[in-house]
């Protein structure tokens, strides 16, 4: 999403086609136009590029640097290769993001807290749930799976709760 040459392809595959229901070649044209704005916007917001393969470690190192400086990260751990669950409007999570807890602990000796965040577009509400703290006493692979499962479950539960009338979430201006 931060690479001007690749963003349009990703947007087309992940957003324009499935969400806007646009078919090629129109979908790619729309994605290219969106990416002209989104790449600049995301870069100016200080987003961390999520590299794949051999460069993934760079993503984690930069992320831990920012967290160590007291900054926050907004992470989208959904697996775009999986089907969207129609009840929760999201795909299952990947667990790799939870490695940040392990790396942050190794660098600082402190437990990183992961906050579940849910956006419910139908009710125009946002909710932040209770944090899930990294537990250094667990085996790292088990801990990554635990964090992924607890966050995913928490977000799903919040999403369903937010769809109920009378939910006291923060309204989104529209």
Sheet (strand 170-171) strand order: 117-120, 125-128, 170-171
Whether the pTM exceeds 0.85: the reply is: no
Cα angle value 117/92/40 (rounded, 5°): 60
> What does the pLDDT read at residue 141?
97
Per-residue pLDDT of the chain (174 residues; tens, 9 = 90+): 888 888 999 898 888 888 888 899 999 999 999 999 999 988 888 888 887 788 889 999 999 999 999 999 999 999 988 998 888 889 999 999 999 999 999 999 999 999 999 988 788 889 999 999 999 999 999 999 999 999 999 999 999 988 876 555 555 555
Strand, helix or coil for residue 114: strand
> How far is Cα 107 from Cα 103, in angstroms, rounded to an integer?
6
């Amino acid at each position: 999403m931060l690479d001007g040459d690749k963003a349009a392809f990703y947007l087309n595959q992940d957003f324009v086609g499935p969400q806007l229901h646009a078919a090629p070649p129109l979908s790619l044209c729309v994605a290219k136009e969106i990416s002209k704005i989104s790449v600049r916007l995301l870069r100016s917001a200080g987003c961390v590029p999520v590299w794949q393969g051999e460069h993934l470690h760079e993503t984690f190192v930069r992320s831990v640097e920012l967290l160590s400086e007291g900054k926050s990260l907004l992470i989208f751990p959904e697996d775009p290769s999986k089907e969207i669950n129609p009840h929760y409007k999201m795909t299952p999570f990947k667990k790799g993001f939870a490695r940040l807890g392990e790396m942050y602990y190794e660098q600082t000796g402190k437990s990183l807290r992961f906050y579940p965040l849910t956006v419910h577009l139908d009710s125009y509400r946002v909710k932040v749930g209770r944090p899930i703290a990294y537990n250094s006493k667990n085996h790292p692979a088990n801990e990554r799976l635990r964090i992924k499962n607890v966050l995913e479950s928490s977000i799903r539960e919040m999403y369903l709760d937010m769809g109920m009338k009378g939910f006291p979430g923060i309204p989104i201006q529209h």
